[in-house]
Amino acid sequence: MTHLDTDILIVGAGGAGMYAALAAVRNGAERVLLVDKSLVGRGGATVMAQMTVAAALAAESPDDPELHLADTLAAGRGLCDETLAAALCEDAPARIREMAEWRVGWACRDDGRIAQVIAPGHSRPRCCYVDFLNTGPAVAATLRRQVGRIATIRRVSNLAVTDLVTADGEAAGAVALDLAAGEPVTIAAKATVIAAGGLTRIYRRSSASANMGGDGYALALAAGAELVDMEFVQFFPIGHLAPRLVGMDPIMWDPFRYKLGGRLLNGAGNEFLAAYGSDEAGAYTTPRDLATYAITKEVEAGRGSPHGGVYLSFEHVPRAALDAAFGPVILRLARHGIDLARAPVEVSPIAHYHMGGVRIDERMASRVPGLFAAGEAAGGANGANRLSGNAIPEALVFGERAGRFAAIHAGRRSAAAWPQGAGAEAVAQIRRLADGRDGVASPAARLDELRGLMQAEVGPFRHAAGLERALTRLRAMRAELPDLAIVAGRACNPSLADWFELRAGLIAAEAVTAAALARRESRGAHQREDFPETDRAWGRGRVVRMARDGTISAGLER
């Protein structure tokens, strides 16, 4: 069996993981192992991100991190961990400038300064970008290039970490599944960084890639770390719904709205956002939670579009302006029979980002010594609602911090401790599953059920009865894991990978659902129909833990 030994193990190679690898080396780590269940630098959300990256560069108008922080806290509806939010806003300009030195290609103004645009919830133009639909790919490519230049960063693709290993209460490494070979791999590490991204893939309608199923949260919980703010799943209000679009990003309408405004209309063709408290007039300023609420309520009231969303219309924008702003995309849309100058499209909310995650301090350290978390896997900075454009800087800033402090931690340890027999049960489990067995259902079928259940009962609007139904079913599905059918075979066996994805997804889903049931108020992305008001008594983040027997409990105050 393959056994690897490293100073720093980084689980997940998106923006946070790759930045963590660079920072770890810069801070003295001699050996870094960067693993990803997809291809390094090409899986997860970073490479999919569309457009805006917020940082108080003051390139367009006076700005400073304090103002960025004020906007972040306001968007977070009183629930941000202020220390983490401040770290995000203070470090973001340095990370953006460093990316510029690495030639990411931020769009620039005529005077050579980085161009910045306004985005919903920001009090001034603060969001930089590379090009339409190209910011995430450019960020990922730049980090891949930097990482690729450093020989002491070992990169391993197609390696899914299934279990973290602790020794004497400290992080000691991990057990992973080599997805191509179907074989277990053990990894001893002096420090581990979880940078495995978010969980939106556990919803039926999501903007996620295939590998955003909540693995990082499940790994952290099982290793003894705490999660915070798990109930806050951000739904992107204007995800594409109809007509059918193939090979295009479901959140592509965001940049259209930044540039051209666009009108949201209900099924009767009337604008409706103002009725829900939005003051947007022509420009795109309504925060995501409010827009999600307004659209869902219009549909519920029978005023939706034919496919169950609302209309997004650019019919009032002259064709020449559409072509000038989005020429090549307009041509691609035409191939799908969409002519924005003549007809609206239908949009509706989709799960897009997760505010919650591993509970960390400003060093990105969890309560398990040697275990750090960064990026979307980390919770707290964004409170109950993320400001648009804050997620990429969060990945870069928290990644840098996690790598730096993991390197400092590793520097204090003489050798990675891998006790005799460590991870043996996790290794045995991979082998048992790969032998195959008959069962009550396939993991793929249960993954499908999980996504439907979360969409129906734990979406943007929740109530006790639905959450309890979901919790009961999630627990039953977790108990049933040993009885699921696995196709025999090691090499490239999808049912083996599905089983581990399902196990992690069920744990993450239970954490979200239990936290949502515990929070008996409405705030930001968490709206309870049975508790519609925001209640000051709930103005603290809630913590989720897992007991030794696997029981998940939520609602303990931070």
Ligand X SMILES: Cc1cc2nc3c(=O)[nH]c(=O)nc-3n(C[C@H](O)[C@H](O)[C@H](O)COP(=O)(O)OP(=O)(O)OC[C@H]3O[C@@H](n4cnc5c(N)ncnc54)[C@H](O)[C@@H]3O)c2cc1C
229 binds ligand X (CB under 6 A): no
Helix (H, G, I), strand (E, B) or coil at 110: coil
357: left (phi over 0), alpha (psi -120 to 50) or beta: left
92 binds ligand X (CB under 6 A): no
Dihedral sign for Cα 521, 523, 525, 531, please.
Answer: positive
Q: Which stretch binds ligand X (CB under 6 A): 5-13, 258-266, 447-455, 520-528?
A: 5-13
- Nearest approach, Cβ of residue 262 and ligand X (Å): 17
Dihedral sign for Cα 526, 529, 534, 537, please.
Answer: negative
Binder among 14, 76, 423, 443 for ligand X (CB under 6 A)? 14
Rounded to whole angstroms, the Cα distance separating 121 from 118 reads 9
Binder among 32, 45, 99, 373 for ligand X (CB under 6 A)? 45
- Count other Cβ atoms within 10 Å, centred on residue 124: 16
Q: Total number of residues binding ligand X (CB under 6 A)? A: 44
| Rounded (5°) CA angle 404-386-260 | 120
Q: Across-strand partners of 176? A: 161, 185
- Nearest approach, Cβ of residue 525 and ligand X (Å): 14
Residue 200 is classified by DSSP as G
For ligand X, which is the closer residue by CB, 19 or 531?
Answer: 19
For ligand X, which is the closer residue by CB, 125 or 411?
Answer: 125
52 binds ligand X (CB under 6 A): yes
x/- letters, 400..439, toward ligand X (CB under 6 A): ----------------------------------------
Binder among 9, 80, 165, 212 for ligand X (CB under 6 A)? 212
- Nearest approach, Cβ of residue 315 and ligand X (Å): 26
Q: Across-strand partners of 35? A: 11, 156
Binder among 211, 234, 278, 527 for ligand X (CB under 6 A)? 211
84 binds ligand X (CB under 6 A): no
| Residue type (1 letter), 385 | N
- Nearest approach, Cβ of residue 160 and ligand X (Å): 4
197 binds ligand X (CB under 6 A): yes
13 binds ligand X (CB under 6 A): yes
Cβ partners under 8 Å of residue 536, min gap 6: none
Q: Which stretch binds ligand X (CB under 6 A): 210-218, 262-270, 342-350, 543-551?
A: 210-218
| Element housing 72 (H / E) | helix 65-75
- Nearest approach, Cβ of residue 164 and ligand X (Å): 10
96 binds ligand X (CB under 6 A): no
Binder among 56, 202, 391, 453 for ligand X (CB under 6 A)? 391
Q: Which two tokens stand for residue 242?
A: 């109809």
The DSSP annotation for 474-525 comes to HHHHHHTGGGS-B-S-STT-HHHHHHHHHHHHHHHHHHHHHHHHH--S-BTT
382 binds ligand X (CB under 6 A): no
376 binds ligand X (CB under 6 A): yes
Helix count (H) and strand count (E) of the chain?
13, 20
For ligand X, which is the closer residue by CB, 90 or 249?
Answer: 249
- Catalytic hit among 31, 95, 144, 288: 288
Q: Which two tokens stand for residue 480?
A: 């049933």
- Nearest approach, Cβ of residue 193 and ligand X (Å): 11
65 binds ligand X (CB under 6 A): no
The DSSP annotation for 327-395 comes to HHHHHHHHHTT--TTT--EEEEEEEEEE--EEE--TT-B-SSTTEEE-GGGEESTTTTSPPTT-HHHHH
Q: Which stretch binds ligand X (CB under 6 A): 193-201, 269-277, 323-331, 532-540?
A: 193-201
Closest CA to 73 of 123, 135, 111: 123
For ligand X, which is the closer residue by CB, 266 or 385?
Answer: 385
Give the chain's end-to-end CA distance (angstroms, integer).
41
Cβ partners under 8 Å of residue 419, min gap 6: 167, 172
Q: Are 380 and 84 in contact (CB under 8 A)?
A: yes
For ligand X, which is the closer residue by CB, 252 or 322?
Answer: 252
Q: Which stretch binds ligand X (CB under 6 A): 45-53, 64-72, 259-267, 401-409?
A: 45-53
x/- letters, 341..370, toward ligand X (CB under 6 A): ------------x-----------------
Rounded to whole angstroms, the Cα distance separating 89 from 56 reads 7
- Applying the rule CB under 6 A, the residues between 237 and 296 that interact with ligand X are 249, 251
Binder among 8, 22, 29, 53 for ligand X (CB under 6 A)? 53
397 binds ligand X (CB under 6 A): no
The DSSP annotation for 444-484 comes to HHHHHHHHHHHHHHSSSEE-HHHHHHHHHHHHHHHHTGGGS
Active site residue 288: yes
x/- letters, 133..172, toward ligand X (CB under 6 A): --xx-----------------------xx-----------
- Nearest approach, Cβ of residue 340 and ligand X (Å): 20
Binder among 6, 50, 142, 429 for ligand X (CB under 6 A)? 50
For ligand X, which is the closer residue by CB, 216 or 466?
Answer: 216
Half-sphere exposure of 198 (CA within 13 A, CB side): 32
Q: Across-strand partners of 26? A: none
Rounded to whole angstroms, the Cα distance separating 49 from 392 reads 8
For ligand X, which is the closer residue by CB, 38 or 305?
Answer: 38
389 binds ligand X (CB under 6 A): yes
- Nearest approach, Cβ of residue 273 and ligand X (Å): 21
- Count other Cβ atoms within 10 Å, centred on residue 415: 9
- Nearest approach, Cβ of residue 495 and ligand X (Å): 17
Residues labelled as active-site residues? 288
What does the binding site for ligand X look like in residue numbers (CB under 6 A)? Answer: 11-17, 35-38, 43-46, 48-53, 135-136, 160-161, 195-197, 207-208, 211-212, 215, 249, 251, 353, 375-377, 389-392, 395
